[in-house]
Amino acid sequence: MKVVKSLILILIVSVILFSCKTKEQIVCENAVTAKLVNKTIDGCTWLIELEDGQILEPLNLKEFDIEKIDNKKIWITYEDTEGYVSICMMGPIVRIKCISERKK
């Protein structure tokens, strides 16, 4: 009986782990699709390009533990800011609320 219970437990844990790895999980609620863009020239740093091509200049990207790779696909939520100026001038300056890696 103990063997059967152990096997059922192993099976349940395996199914849970397998489903977590195969499903893409959006950590950010109501997020939009985007990608990180490396523009470390002329006063710019890492920017975010939305799916529609709009470029965002994030104020607080360093606050998030995300590996910075050019063209890395991400999910993002952000809010517009006022009163900030940038040498880069590539797009609106935003404050990231949530960011996570996107697999597709």
CA dist., res. 47 & res. 58, Å (int): 6
For the segment 63-95, what is each residue's pLDDT rounded down to a tens digit? 999 999 999 999 999 999 999 988 899 999 999
- Domain 25-101 = CATH 2.40.50.500: yes
Confidence of residue 101 (pLDDT cuts 50, 70, 90): very high
CA dist., res. 18 & res. 29, Å (int): 23
- DSSP letter, residue 90: S
CA dist., res. 35 & res. 37, Å (int): 6
For the segment 54-63, what is each residue's pLDDT rounded down to a tens digit? 999 999 999 9
